Amino acid sequence: MKKDAPSPSYVTYKVKAGDNLSKISERFGNITIAAIKSLNQLESNVLTVGMLLKIAVP
């Protein structure tokens, strides 16, 4: 019997003043900037305060 791979879990992170993708990536420690951009369909590194980002967690 083949086991299905566990689906990733997500948290929602609300962008605060002074945040950037690098800081958010470091805060969660397990996700790259590229992964944050991909999960949230971001084409640039520009974030706005109050933006909600999906972050994958183990």
**24-45: average pLDDT:** 95
Average pLDDT, the chain: 91
pLDDT at 36 over 60: yes
In the prediction, which pLDDT does 15 show? 98
Question: Which superfamily does CATH assign the domain made up of 9-57 to?
Answer: LysM domain (3.10.350.10)
| Cβ(51)–Cβ(14) below 8 Å | yes
SS (H, E, C) 6-38: CCCEEEEEECCCCCCHHHHHHHHCCCCHHHHHH
**14-31: average pLDDT:** 95
CA angle 55, 34, 15 (to 5 degrees): 45
